Amino acid sequence: MKKNKFLFEEFSPVSAKEWKQKIQFDLKGNEYATLITKTLEGIDIKPFYHRDTFVRLPYSYQPGKFKILHEYAQPPSEKDIEFSFKQDVDKVRFIANSKPNVELLSTHSNVEPELRFADKDFMHLLEEKNIGYVFDPLSHLLRSGNWFYNEEKDMALIGEIHKNSSFSLEIDLSIVQNAGANIVQQIAYGLAHGHYYLERFGKRILPAIRFKFAIGYNYFFEIAKFKAFRYLWKLISEHDAEPLIYAVPSLRNKTLFDPYVNMLRTGMEMMAAVLGGADEIANYPYNYIYKKHDSNAMRLASNQLILLKEEAKFNRMLLAPEGSYYLEEIAVRLAEKSLDLFKQIEKAGGYTKQLYEGVIQRKIHENALKEQKLFDEGKLVLTGTNKFVNPDEKVPGYDKNIYLPGKKYEKTLIKKIIPKRLSEKIEKNRIQNLHKT
């Protein structure tokens, strides 16, 4: 045996054709097609992938070290900020409609404060120059059903904020993911959303644009999602700069009962975000769907990212997914289908036109119903909720005023896109039973 050859020359290579023949033989008369898994994206997952049939996108991305964020749903208190500083995070982000305590946020120069506007009365918040501002009227339209003011005035505000402040035009695709959009839809809607701004402002707006994605339960598809999206965004924007991607956990698969399992779910989602090459990542506490603030739960959420970064050394595994036959082919298929959908949207008049006509909302709803059916039938499992259920379980810290999403009727310009968890129906029934006891 020659040096450095080890056992490779002792065995002849096996072709893709031979593997398929062997699988067909072992099936003992059953069809090979029974081993192919159909996904909600319309992509077939084959039982094996081989270098004979290897395909990949003509694109490779070398990510830098990801930033860890703390995201608050309101202006953080002094206690919140001090807590975030102790957790060794890179950014503190909060949603605000009142002036934050800028002096407090500025006491630690190693942490970047960032504010996202929640309503239209925000111009007085732009006085401070040492805060990053996040603003996207079109995401606000999706979330609320209305512009801040109206389309033209909101677009004029983008120009004003861009000129005078540290500004990010953040395209929030977590909205559509949490409402039930599949990965192809998320990518295509993100492209169409971004293209709307390119048509409005030209390439000068590109440095301000970034994308917020929610990471779902389909681990390998979520890793491939970022590669497909980055490739397509650079293709349609005709720009060499990489898009900045901010990743958060999905709301879709989080549960009220057996909530500690949510930590396992966010752990996988955070791994997918890192391996997919997200630039900034925020993890959410395991109980955030029913408890607005819990320092211990938030600490655990931060620690998941810190462990990945510092202990698991994921910052040294930045190109780990590159060359995987499975991941590369999934990225290609996602890119093909997403580009087709993007072209359909543009041909039909563009993203906003399809929103006004309700087409985007209808397509998301149709996919959400398919996903919900899988959950209801037990084919999509959420442990502790639709499988391995403890009927005597009570929610930790439960009280009778616990939040459960309900319908609110208000006048809107478009049908707003509403987040919905898969387990809501089951949980509502269990909550009602708890009320009776």
Domain count for the chain, please give it.
1
109: pLDDT strictly greater than 80: no
pLDDT of residue 60: 87
pLDDT of residue 83: 77
Is 221 part of any domain? Answer: no
pLDDT of residue 93: 84
Report the percentage of the chain scoring pLDDT > 70: 86
Nearest to 137 by CA among 114, 175, 177, 170: 170
pLDDT bucket at 42, cuts 50 / 70 / 90: very high
Burial (CB count within 10 angstroms: exposed 0-12, middle 13-18, buried 19+), residue 435: exposed
How does the average pLDDT of the chain come out, rounded? 87
Q: Which residue has the higher pLDDT, 193 or 320?
A: 193
CA distance 189 to 198: 14
Tell me how crowded residue 342 is: count the other CB atoms within 10 A of its CB: 21
Q: Residues 144-157: what's their mean pLDDT?
A: 93
Q: At what angle do helices 151-164 and 183-201 cross, to 10 degrees?
A: 80
264: pLDDT strictly greater than 70: yes
Burial (CB count within 10 angstroms: exposed 0-12, middle 13-18, buried 19+), residue 108: middle
* Range picked from 101-110, 253-262, 292-301, 359-368 for highest mean pLDDT: 359-368
Q: Residues 178-206: what's their mean pLDDT?
A: 96
pTM above 0.85, yes or no: yes
Q: Which residue has the higher pLDDT, 74 or 35?
A: 35
In three-state secondary structure terms, 155 is helix
Range scoring the smallest mean pLDDT among 66-75, 242-251, 395-404: 395-404
User: Concatenated DSSP letters for 55-96?
Assistant: ---S------PPEEEEEESSPPPHHHHHHHHHTT-SEEEEEE
Residue pLDDT, tens place only, 48-102: 999 999 999 999 888 778 999 988 876 667 777 777 777 778 888 887 665 555 5
pLDDT bucket at 333, cuts 50 / 70 / 90: very high
Q: Residues 245-256: what's their mean pLDDT?
A: 96
CA distance 307 to 367: 35
Q: Which residue has the higher pLDDT, 116 or 362?
A: 362
Q: Residues 349-378: what's their mean pLDDT?
A: 97
Range scoring the smallest mean pLDDT among 8-12, 118-122, 427-431: 118-122
DSSP secondary structure letter of residue 129: S
Q: Which residue has the higher pLDDT, 60 or 232?
A: 232
Q: Residues 324-336: what's their mean pLDDT?
A: 96
Range scoring the smallest mean pLDDT among 103-107, 299-303, 338-342: 103-107
Q: Which residues contact 254 (CB under 8 A, 6 or more apart)?
A: 262, 265, 288, 289, 421, 423
Residue listed under structure tokens 């389309």: 151
Token pair in block for residue 89: 């995070």
Q: Residues 18-25: what's their mean pLDDT?
A: 92
Is 95 part of any domain? Answer: no
pLDDT of residue 270: 96
For 361-386, give one letter per residue: b (16+ CB within 10 A) or e.
Answer: bebbbebbeebbeebeeeebebebbb
26: pLDDT strictly greater than 60: yes
Distance separating the N- and C-terminal Cα atoms of the chain: 75
pLDDT of residue 13: 86
pLDDT of residue 102: 58
Residue listed under structure tokens 């062997």: 22
Is 30 part of any domain? Answer: yes
Beta-bridged to residue 288, according to DSSP, are none
pLDDT of residue 124: 66
Is 19 part of any domain? Answer: yes
Is 40 part of any domain? Answer: yes
CA distance 207 to 226: 18
Report the percentage of the chain scoring pLDDT > 90: 61
Is 189 part of any domain? Answer: no
CA distance 310 to 307: 5
Residue listed under structure tokens 């002096």: 103
pLDDT of residue 46: 94
Give the domain range for residue 32.
Answer: 8-53
pLDDT of residue 1: 45
Nearest to 375 by CA among 242, 140, 193, 217: 217
Q: Residues 399-405: what's their mean pLDDT?
A: 50
Q: Residues 164-193: what's their mean pLDDT?
A: 94
